[in-house]
């Protein structure tokens, strides 16, 4: 069985928010680009108790359109797709600066 790679903590918060508030990858990416805090989504997502509030996906789409002038991002990537290439970059490469022979004087 293949071992699943761990997602860094700063992205894990977004994965949990996606599951908890039933958001799509597009909504998560839009919220990240807007600089929203996923820990504060509970305040924004209580349209049942406060009927004047829009549902969270609609709210995110509305403020994204106001800020960027488009209805959705050009390229939508999930958190897992974003983390994959970054983890590959962080892996040490052979022949890098750390592999140079030391010169003693």
Average pLDDT, the chain: 86
pTM beyond cutoff 0.85 = no
What integer pLDDT is reported at residue 16 of this predicted model? 95
Structure-token pair, residue 94 = 């052979």
**Domain assignments of the chain as residue spans, ordered by start:** 8-72
| Dihedral over Cα of 27, 29, 32, 37: its sign | positive
The yes-or-no verdict on residue 93 having pLDDT over 80 is: no
The yes-or-no verdict on residue 90 having pLDDT over 70 is: no
Element (H, E) at 30: helix 25-34
The yes-or-no verdict on residue 63 having pLDDT over 80 is: yes
Q: How confident is the model at residue 3 (pLDDT cuts 50, 70, 90)?
A: low
E strand map for 1-105: none
């Amino acid at each position: 069985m293949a071992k699943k790679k761990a997602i860094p903590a700063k992205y894990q918060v977004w994965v949990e928010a996606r599951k908890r508030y039933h958001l799509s990858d597009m909504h998560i990416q839009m919220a990240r680009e807007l600089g929203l805090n996923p820990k504060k989504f509970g305040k924004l997502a209580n349209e049942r108790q406060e009927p004047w509030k829009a549902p969270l996906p609609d709210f995110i789409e509305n403020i994204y359109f106001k800020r960027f002038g488009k209805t959705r991002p050009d390229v939508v990537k999930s958190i897992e797709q974003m983390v994959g290439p970054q983890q590959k970059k962080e892996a040490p490469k052979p022949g890098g600066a750390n592999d140079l022979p030391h010169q003693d004087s």
